[in-house]
Each structure stands twice: as structure tokens, then as C-alpha cells.
């Protein structure tokens, strides 16, 4: 069955370190997204991609970067982790139409000490 | 004004009850609307899309009022398994990168 996976599921790191969160989908979807979810906020979009070599900034992109070298993967990199980036991170993918469902990965719980 | 607003709850209801959630959105150009369900410490999953004519899926009914910029979700005959957080989601820009998520409404169904 097609799926979307994230790794690691839990990560503890220190302030200033570079961290990369992996997202892999086997749906063959063109669209992929990274969100963060924090108490008191809805899901907020960090970066997204509509296809290979395409990346776009979302609402809360500062301090994050992504790259899309193939259809299946959209890794999220925190260049220099900050305590404010402690959060739960969800990756999602979808087919191209605007009203299509987004399928979410299981999430990565990141703690920055 | 926040883009998508929901009553955070929690709504505590007995099994078998009917419960309704409301959601308002601020962008009148919003084009598509959804309800997602999120269980505790899990990922969101699509519950249903919301159409202008209203739509029903079993015990769940979604309504859209474009004039009032208002979306609702009605759950009839609540089950214990309906306990979750319900997220109102609005597409404000016509592409998948323009989804705005509400903070969610928490529902707890008690025996």
C-alpha cells in the first residue's frame, strides 16, 4: 500500500545544531508539504513543493529549508536549531488539484534544548 | 481577525448525542473547505470535504454558508470513537499551498 513516512519519529537536539527531518511518500504525488503544530496554533505551513526542483516558502519558513531532488522525498532542514523550533512536524502529500485531500505522515516530535 | 476560527471546546457529550461544531473564515475568496479529524498524538486525516450544497456521510453532515463565511459539522448519534479534535480547513488561494488550518475543536464522547 502507498504511504507517507517520516523519520525520525522523535528527536532531541541542542541549540545551534543542524537537523534534517526526512519525509518519504510512495503515492507518487507531485505536491509535498511540511507543517509544524504547536499548542495554541493550528497547523502552520513551513515549506512546500509542487514537483521536482520546485520549492516554496510557507507562512513560517524562517530557519528552515527544503530540497526536492525526486518525487518521493522532501527533507526539511533546520539550519541552526533554536528552542522556538521545538514542535511536532508533519509532512503531507497530495495530488495536484486544489480540492484534493492531503495525506499526512505520522509526525516527528522535535525537542531543541 | 484570524483567518479560520473555531471554538476550541472541549465539547463533552454522552454517547448518542448530537453535536455541532462551527467554523468561520475571514477570506471571502476562499475556494474549498474541509473537515479533518486528528486523534491525540496522531496525524490529521480528512473527514470530509464541504460543498456549497451541503453534504452528508453517514452520521456526519457538513454545511457551508458562503454569505456568512461559516462552515459547520454535525455529528449525530455520537460514538466513543468520535472522540478527537476536529480541524476546520480552508483553501484560500486555489492551490494546495494555501490551506489554512483552524486550531481545532476537541470532542470527548463519554459512555
- Please name the residues in contact with A2: beta carbons below 8 A apart, sequence gap of 6 or more: A25, A26, A27, A28
Q: Judge: B96–A101 Cβ closer than 8 Å, yes or no.
A: no
Q: Using one digit for the tens of pLDDT, what is the confidence trace for B31-48? A: 889 999 999 999 999 999
Q: Does position B1 have pLDDT exceeding 60, yes or no?
A: no
Q: Which of A41-45, A88-92, B56-60 has the lowest mean pLDDT?
A: A41-45
Q: Does position A84 have pLDDT exceeding 80, yes or no?
A: yes
- The shortest CB-CB distance from B96 to any of A42, A102, A104 is to A102
Q: Residue B95 has what pLDDT?
A: 67
Spatial strand order in the sheet of A19-25: A4-7, A19-25, A76-78, A64-66
- The shortest CB-CB distance from A106 to any of B4, B31, B43 is to B43
Question: Which site among B3, B43, B90, B91 would you substitute to test the A interface, given the most A Cβ atoms closer than 10 Å to its Cβ?
Answer: B43
- Rounded to an integer, the average pLDDT of A81-102 is 89
- Count of Cβ atoms closer than 10 Å to residue A95 Cβ: 14
- B99 pLDDT band, cuts 50/70/90, is confident
Q: Check if the beta carbon of residue A45 is closer than 8 Å to that of residue A58.
A: yes
CA distance B21 to B7: 8
Amino acid at each position: 500500500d502507498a504511504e507517507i513516512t517520516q523519520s525520525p519519529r522523535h528527536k532531541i537536539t541542542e541549540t545551534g545544531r543542524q537537523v534534517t527531518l526526512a519525509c518519504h511518500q510512495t503515492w507518487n504525488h507531485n505536491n509535498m508539504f511540511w507543517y509544524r503544530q504547536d499548542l495554541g496554533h493550528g497547523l502552520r505551513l513551513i515549506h512546500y513543493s509542487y514537483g521536482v526542483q520546485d520549492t516554496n516558502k510557507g507562512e513560517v519558513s524562517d530557519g528552515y529549508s527544503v530540497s526536492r531532488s525526486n518525487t518521493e522525498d522532501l527533507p526539511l532542514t533546520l539550519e541552526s536549531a533554536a528552542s522556538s523550533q521545538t514542535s511536532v512536524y508533519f509532512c503531507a502529500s497530495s495530488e495536484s488539484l486544489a480540492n484534493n485531500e492531503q495525506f499526512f505522515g505520522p509526525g516527528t516530535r522535535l525537542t531543541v534544548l | 481577525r484570524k483567518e479560520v476560527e473555531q471554538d476550541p471546546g472541549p465539547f463533552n457529550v454522552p454517547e448518542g448525542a448530537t453535536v455541532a461544531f462551527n467554523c468561520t473564515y475571514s477570506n471571502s475568496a476562499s475556494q474549498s473547505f474541509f473537515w479533518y479529524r486528528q486523534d491525540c498524538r496522531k496525524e490529521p486525516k480528512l473527514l470530509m470535504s464541504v460543498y456549497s450544497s451541503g453534504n452528508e456521510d453517514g452520521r456526519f453532515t457538513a454545511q457551508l454558508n458562503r454569505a456568512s463565511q461559516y462552515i459547520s459539522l454535525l455529528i449525530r448519534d455520537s460514538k466513543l470513537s468520535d472522540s478527537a479534535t476536529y480541524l476546520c480547513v480552508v483553501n484560500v488561494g486555489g492551490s494546495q499551498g494555501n490551506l489554512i488550518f483552524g486550531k481545532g475543536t476537541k470532542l470527548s464522547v463519554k459512555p
